[in-house]
Chains A and B, each alone.
Chain A
Amino acid sequence: MEDLLKIGGVDLKSRLFVGTGKFSSYEVMKNAIGASGSQVVTVALRRIDLESQEENVLNFVPKDCVLLPNTSGARTAEEAVRIARIARAAGCGNWIKIEVISDNKYLLPDNYETIKATEILAKEGFIVLPYMNPDLMVAKRLKEVGAAAVMPLGAPIGTNRGLKTKEMVRILIDEIDLPIIVDAGIGKPSEAAEAMEMGAAAVLVNTAIATAGDPATMARAFDLAVQAGRMAYLSRPGATKLYAEASSPLTGFLE
Chain B
Amino acid sequence: MSQPVLSVKKITKTFGDFTAVDQLSFEIGKGKVLGLLGANGAGKTTAINMVLGIISPTSGGVEVFGEDLTKSRIAILRRMNFCSTYTQLPGNLTVRQNLKVFGKLYRVKNLKQRIDEVLGLLEISQLKDRVSGHLSAGESTRLNLCKALLNRPELLLLDEPTASLDPDIADKVRKVVKRVRDEEGTTMLYTSHNMRDVEEVCDEIVFMHKGKILVSGTNEEVKQHFEEESLEDVFIRVARSGDIEAKRLKEAKK
Question: Are the chains A and B members of one assembly?
Answer: no
A interface residues with partner B (beta carbon < 8 Å)? none
